[in-house]
Amino acid sequence: MSSVADRPLVYLDHAATTPMRREAIEAMLPYLDQQYANPSGSHRFARQAREALDDAREVVAGVLGCPPGEIVFTAGGTESDNTAILGATHRHGGVPVCSAAEHHAVLHAVQHAGGIIVGVDRAGRIDLAQLDAALMAAEAAGGVSVVSAMAVNNEVGSVTDLAAVAAIVRARSPRAVLHTDAVQSASWIDLRRITPIVDLLSLSAHKFGGPKGVGVLRIRTGVTIDPLLIGGGQERELRSGTQNVAGAVAMAEALRLADVERASERVRLRGLRDRLLDRLLAELPDVMETVGREEKVAGSAHVCIRGIENEALLYLLDEAGVCASAASACAAGAMEPSHVLAAMGVDRSWSAGALRLSLGRATTLADVDRGADAVVAAVQRIRERMPA
Cross-strand pairs, 177: 146
Return the axis-axis angle of helices 162-172 and 128-141, rounded to nearest 10°: 20
Report pLDDT for 68: 98
- Element housing 128 (H / E): helix 128-141
In the predicted structure, residue 47 carries a pLDDT above the cut 90? yes
Q: What are the structural domains, with CATH classification, of the chain? A: 4-20+263-385 (3.90.1150.10), 22-257 (3.40.640.10)
Would you say 219 and 29 are in contact if contact means Cβ atoms under 8 Å apart? no
Which whole number is the average pLDDT over 256-279? Answer: 98
Q: Report pLDDT for 267.
A: 98
| Active-site annotation holds for 330 | yes
Report the alpha-carbon distance of residue 20 to residue 28 in Å, rounded: 11
**What pLDDT sits at residue 5?**
58
Q: Residue 45 pLDDT more than 80? A: yes
Give the lowest-confidence range in 19-28, 32-41, 98-107, 335-344: 335-344
pLDDT in tens, 284-315: 999 999 999 999 999 999 999 999 999 999 99
pLDDT tens digits, 108-150? 999 999 999 999 999 999 999 999 999 999 999 999 999 999 9
Of the candidates 66, 98, 323, 330, the residue annotated as catalytic is 330
Any bridge partners for residue 288, and if so which?
A: 304
Q: How many CB atoms lie within 10 A of CB 285?
A: 10
Between 376 and 385, the more confident residue is: 376
pLDDT digits (tens, 9 = 90+) for 50-103: 999 999 999 999 999 999 999 999 999 999 999 999 999 999 999 999 999 999
Tell me the mean pLDDT in the region 342-355: 96
* Cα dihedral 103/104/106/111 (nearest 10): 140
Predicted confidence at residue 334, as pLDDT, reads 46
Backbone angles phi, psi at 224, to 5 degrees: -115, 135
- Is 344's pLDDT higher than 60? yes
- The reported pTM is 0.95
pLDDT at 331 over 60: no
Q: How far is CA 348 from the centre of its chain?
A: 25
Mean pLDDT of 34-55: 94
pLDDT of 8: 85
pLDDT by residue (tens digit) across 190-232? 999 999 999 999 999 999 999 999 999 999 999 999 999 999 9
The pLDDT value recorded for residue 48 is: 95
| pLDDT bucket at 27, cuts 50 / 70 / 90 | very high
Would you say 340 and 184 are in contact if contact means Cβ atoms under 8 Å apart? no
Q: Tell me how far apart the alpha carbons of residues 195 and 211 are, in angstroms, rounded to a whole number.
A: 23
Confidence class for position 388, pLDDT limits 50, 70, 90: low
Residue 4 binned pLDDT confidence (cut-offs 50, 70, 90): low
| DSSP SS3 for 227 | coil
Residues 6+ apart with CB under 8 A from 358: 12, 13, 14, 15, 16, 157, 299, 300, 301, 302, 325
Check pLDDT > 50 for residue 1.
no
Q: What is the pLDDT of residues 148-195, one digit of tens each?
A: 999 999 999 999 999 999 999 999 999 999 999 999 999 999 999 999
